[in-house]
Structure 1
């Protein structure tokens, strides 16, 4: 089978399209013929080995997982003898970041608990765009952010992959949602019905002092003090993504800020799990959440796809068709 292979850390140029052996499922695994996959920040971390702390999980000197790719959508081609949830022919989607990656390939073997049946009302491309970004948004808002109906929620970086899911999921929870984006992305936020839109080139979000119950930082390099300023008493800031400096400040200063005041500063390390994938599936099936896809690339265009993704201006998700 064809697969993208990465044997050293570096730029997208280190990625190679190769012929490799087709995998065979063990007793509790499912063999999936991959239709589509997508790019996430985790793919860039796995490619570059940065921030350095990530190498303790991904391999200190070279990638532990030679075939990258987390999100997948496809059809079940074979099942191990102990598999109970799926059968040959089922359309499935899932996030492989917790079970060895391997999605940038024509076939991949997956533990059955990393998958869910694909919603019938969305395409393979939309399904592949959903697991990692959608579950990240769900965990950040619901689990870390303790979102409730009526909350005033700010999403910084609202027009990207995680951001577009976060706006829609927060709306589904009954929150009043403000999205922050650039001028070129205002229409994206209008299309997913954000209640308020802040164009950061024209207005500073930090002027809304003490207004938000929850702030989800998906992108950018804002100071923690700016985020803290816009929180209400007992408000919560959740760092999902952004500059490396912002990540380290959240990790090391966040606990101190949280202990010494009424406002909480926390960071999210997304963890794939089947229950959250099923929760996301329900949101997709009911139409409360619709994946936003910016561009699609072919597998042999993986370098171009990564280069585009790393520019940081994608409107929604970047999808790879296998």
Structure 2
């Protein structure tokens, strides 16, 4: 089979398309013929080995996992004898980041717990665009943010992978949603249901009189104090992604702010979770959320895909068709 393989950390140039042995599933695994995969920030961390602390999980001196790729969608081709939840021919999708990665390949053998059935109402590409980003948004909005109907929610960085799902998930809970993005992304954020859209190149959300019950910082670089001022009493700010300085501020000062007043400031570390992925599957099937796909690349164009994703301007998700 063909797969993307790398042996050292670095730029996308270290990625090689090679012919390798097709995997054989163990007793508790299924063999998936991969139809599509997608890029996430975790893929970039895996590629570069940065920040350095990540190497304690991914390999200190060289990559522990030779085939990158977390989010996948495909069809089950074979099952181990102990597999109970799937049959050959089932269409599935899932997040492989907790079971060895390996999604940038024509086939992958994975534990059945990493997958859920793909709704028939969506394509393989749409399914592959979903797991990490949508589960991150769900865990931030529902679990950490404790969202309630009628809450006013601000999504800073509303046009990226996590942001587009966060807008739609917050709307599905009955919130009034404001999305912050650049000029080129205003129409996309409006199209996915945001009640209000702020173009940060023209307006500063902190200068508005509005205050929010929940702010999700998906791709922000503003000081923590800015978000605190924009929160209502008892409001919550959650750092999901953005500048390193913002993450440091949230980790260092968030607990102090949270203990000294009614406003809460915290960061989110997404954890792959099959129950959450089932919930996301239900939202997909009901039409309450829909993946936004910016660009599609062939497996052989993986370097170009990483370079584009690394620019940080993708509208929604970047998908690899296998």
Tell me the TM-score range normalised by the shorter chain. Answer: over 0.9
Equivalent in the alignment of 1:62? 62
Per the TM alignment, residue 143 of structure 1 is displaced from its structure 2 partner at its CA by: 0.8
- Counterparts of 2:157 and 2:90 in 1: how far apart (Å)? 35
Equivalent in the alignment of 1:37? 37
- Counterparts of 1:47 and 1:255 in 2: how far apart (Å)? 32
Per the TM alignment, residue 253 of structure 1 is displaced from its structure 2 partner at its CA by: 1.9
* 1:305 maps onto 2:305 in alignment: yes
- Counterparts of 2:240 and 2:209 in 1: how far apart (Å)? 21
**TM-score of the pair, normalised by structure 2:** 0.98
Equivalent in the alignment of 2:100? 100
Equivalent in the alignment of 2:219? 219
1:64-79 mapped onto 2 (5 Å cutoff): 64-79=64-79
- Counterparts of 2:146 and 2:7 in 1: how far apart (Å)? 40
- Counterparts of 1:101 and 1:166 in 2: how far apart (Å)? 24
Deviations 1:152-194 (A, max 9, x none): 0000000011100000000000000000000000010111110
Contact 1:210 1:233 in 2 (8 A): no
- Counterparts of 1:218 and 1:45 in 2: how far apart (Å)? 17
- Unpaired runs of 5+ residues, structure 2, are none
Contact 1:207 1:230 in 2 (8 A): no
Task: Give aligned pairs, total.
Answer: 322
Range moving further from structure 2, 7-16 or 208-217: 208-217
- Counterparts of 1:85 and 1:209 in 2: how far apart (Å)? 52
**TM-score of the pair, normalised by structure 1:** 0.98
- Counterparts of 1:250 and 1:26 in 2: how far apart (Å)? 42
- Counterparts of 1:254 and 1:16 in 2: how far apart (Å)? 42
Contact 1:113 1:273 in 2 (8 A): no
- Unpaired runs of 5+ residues, structure 1, are none
Per the TM alignment, residue 210 of structure 1 is displaced from its structure 2 partner at its CA by: 6.4
Equivalent in the alignment of 1:17? 17
Per the TM alignment, residue 40 of structure 1 is displaced from its structure 2 partner at its CA by: 0.5
Equivalent in the alignment of 1:202? 202
- Counterparts of 1:229 and 1:210 in 2: how far apart (Å)? 10
Equivalent in the alignment of 1:233? 233
- Counterparts of 2:213 and 2:311 in 1: how far apart (Å)? 31
Q: Secondary structure at the match of 1:84?
A: coil
Equivalent in the alignment of 2:122? 122
* 1:183 maps onto 2:180 in alignment: no
- Counterparts of 2:257 and 2:268 in 1: how far apart (Å)? 16
Equivalent in the alignment of 1:262? 262
Per the TM alignment, residue 122 of structure 1 is displaced from its structure 2 partner at its CA by: 0.5
Per the TM alignment, residue 215 of structure 1 is displaced from its structure 2 partner at its CA by: 0.5
Per the TM alignment, residue 208 of structure 1 is displaced from its structure 2 partner at its CA by: 3.5
